Amino acid sequence: MAVGIFDSGLGGLTVLDAVARRLPQVPFVYFGDNAHAPYGVRTADDIFALTCAATERLWSEGCDLVILACNTASAAALRRMQETWLPKDKRVLGVFVPLIEALTERQWGDNSPPREVAVKHVALFATPATVASRAFQRELAFRAIGVDVEAQPCGGVVDAIEQGDEILAEALVRSHVEALKRRMPAPEAAILGCTHYPLMEHVFQEALGPEVRVYSQARLVAESLADYLVRRPEFLGPGTASKFLTTGDPASVSNKATQFLRRKIVFEKA
């Protein structure tokens, strides 16, 4: 009954942590493609190929359902995977939709037509590839009308977080917020469109100001997954063991992951 969690690096551990707390009875297999991170500067075709390979590896671990905790993969590869590649007995889900449903105050799986919502001015902070894909705006348009989205590509933030350089990461976040606010001086809400960014959520909030509601993904994805598995229990795969897999150096990735989550994490070679 294992579920796969995929990310290009360590950011998806924020999602893993939340879903494991919400669903303690479910084994989770985490796959970090650290050898090819970051994805945010890669082409859409490259991201698609890497994401498909990682998904197949998680299937081999008995995970019929895979969560793309990587926003870049969700933005650049998910729709193509679902439309052209995915077998009928498997599911791959992204992390955008739970965020948008929370922003637009819709119930999980509400497929009614798009409608007016209270929030009109939304700031999106994401990797360059996620911003370029316009996937967030496309998914939002399915659910809401009249919402102005200003997107800020946050180059360098993921690298700084992965390298453990909090001072640089904080400086970059403040710089990116300032750049966005020059174009949208008064956002009502901000979307942290990368699973690394919850680690800098307090910096985003400080830079944006207390009047801006900041939406972060991990808790919302956990609730969405719990709801999905109640409705579709057949996609709880045959896997039985939790584990951490990486395409990078297991010892190095384990050390960084342990610092990242502040608990002992041991990766195996994928």
Residues serving a catalytic function are: 70, 194
**Among 224, 269, 219, residue whose Cα is nearest residue 17:** 219
CA distances from 202 to 121, 146, 210, 213, 215 (A): 21, 29, 11, 12, 12
What is the Cα–Cα distance from 71 to 137, expressed in whole angstroms?
13
Cα–Cα–Cα angle for 81, 71, 116, nearest 5°? 95
151 phi/psi in degrees, rounded to 5: -105, 135
Q: Using alpha carbons, list the distances in angstroms from residue 67 to 50, 164, 254.
A: 15, 25, 21
Let me know: does 243 contact 29? Beta carbons within 8 Å: yes
Return the number of other C-beta atoms located less than 10 Å from residue 208's C-beta. 19
DSSP assignments along 77-92, one per residue? THHHHHHHT--TT-EE
Count CB atoms within 10 A of the CB of residue 14. Answer: 25
- Which amino acid, one-letter code, is at 222? A
